[in-house]
Amino acid sequence: MKLDKSIAVLAMVASLVLAAGTAAAQNAPAEADVDDESVLDELDFTSSDTVTTEGGNVTNANLSTQQSTDEFAGIYGQTDGSLVLGSNNNNDVLYNWSATADYVFASNGSVTWSNLSDSNASNVDNYFGIPEGADDAEATYDEPTRQSITLDGQSYEGDAALTFNSTGEGDWTTLTLEDNSSATGQPDLPVFAGEVGEGSDAFNGDAADYQLIVPASDSTTTSYSMYLELS
């Protein structure tokens, strides 16, 4: 098994606490705990056909191939969450409510949600240093229509990519947003969002609640903080 891709998460189970009386915790997505994380095999194409020819002949050979990307990784899995009334003292819980996750977010850093804003794929290329090519962010998040979500009554939009379900249909949207807290002249922190669709069909036929495509260099590991927005 090749483990050089940063992350392909099999399941995400969120244990979410919203502190009573803390507006920021109530109005922003909550950090999600990761449970049962496993990395799937990277696609590896090693076989090749041959061309047989001899002197004096001209051979027509039409070629095609597939090669694994060095710039992106996938994250998919299931979600679970609850709203909690309690105290940090010994993690005492007075009451909890089962809740539904509406959106999942992934970011290569801690997000200041009050600074969340619209974004575009070029910011992703700039932040991660993805070189121009067939699999750069602008070529990846290239849906002709920018997508949008509504979070805490505020609408956000960004460039988006559609990843496949098990029948090869583009069925899962990854939307690019950003935390614009960065210093002037520096790329903003990208935030990748996906709508939760419980019990849906993942790329490999697994039952999944979400599926994202995110930047991850093949030359190093990349860590993503995961967040869920509950209702």
pLDDT of residue 16: 29
Separation between Cα atoms, residue 160 and residue 122, nearest integer Å: 12
Exposed, middle or buried, 169 (CB in 10 Å: 0-12/13-18/19+)? Answer: exposed
Confirm whether 74 is domain-assigned: yes
Domain that holds residue 100: 23-46+67-230
Confirm whether 181 is domain-assigned: yes
151, 229 Cβ separation under 8 angstroms: yes
Please, what is the Cα angle at 162 between 159 and 163, to 5 degrees?
135
| Residue 126, C-beta contacts closer than 8 angstroms, at least 6 positions apart | 187
pLDDT of residue 36: 66
pLDDT tens digit at each of 231 positions of the chain: 333 443 333 333 333 232 233 333 346 898 888 876 666 767 776 667 899 999 999 999 998 888 899 999 999 999 999 999 999 888 899 999 999 999 999 999 999 999 999 999 999 999 999 999 999 999 999 999 999 999 989 999 999 999 999 999 999 999 999 999 999 999 999 999 999 997 789 999 999 999 999 999 988 899 999 999 998
Q: Tell me the three state secondary structure of residue 158.
A: strand
228, 103 Cβ separation under 8 angstroms: yes
Confirm whether 8 is domain-assigned: no
Q: Global pTM? A: 0.82
Q: Tell me the three state secondary structure of residue 170.
A: strand
Exposed, middle or buried, 140 (CB in 10 Å: 0-12/13-18/19+)? Answer: buried
Confirm whether 134 is domain-assigned: yes
Burial letters 38-72, b for 16+ CB under 10 A, else e: ebbeeeeeeeeeeeeeeeeeeeeeeeeeeeebebb
Confirm whether 162 is domain-assigned: yes
Rg for the chain (alpha carbons), in Å? 21
pLDDT of residue 41: 67
Confirm whether 200 is domain-assigned: yes
Confirm whether 51 is domain-assigned: no
Confirm whether 57 is domain-assigned: no
pLDDT of residue 38: 67
Exposed, middle or buried, 129 (CB in 10 Å: 0-12/13-18/19+)? Answer: exposed
Q: Tell me how many domains the chain contains.
A: 1
pLDDT of residue 212: 97
**What's the number of CA atoms in the CB half-sphere (13 Å) around residue 24?**
6
pLDDT of residue 179: 97
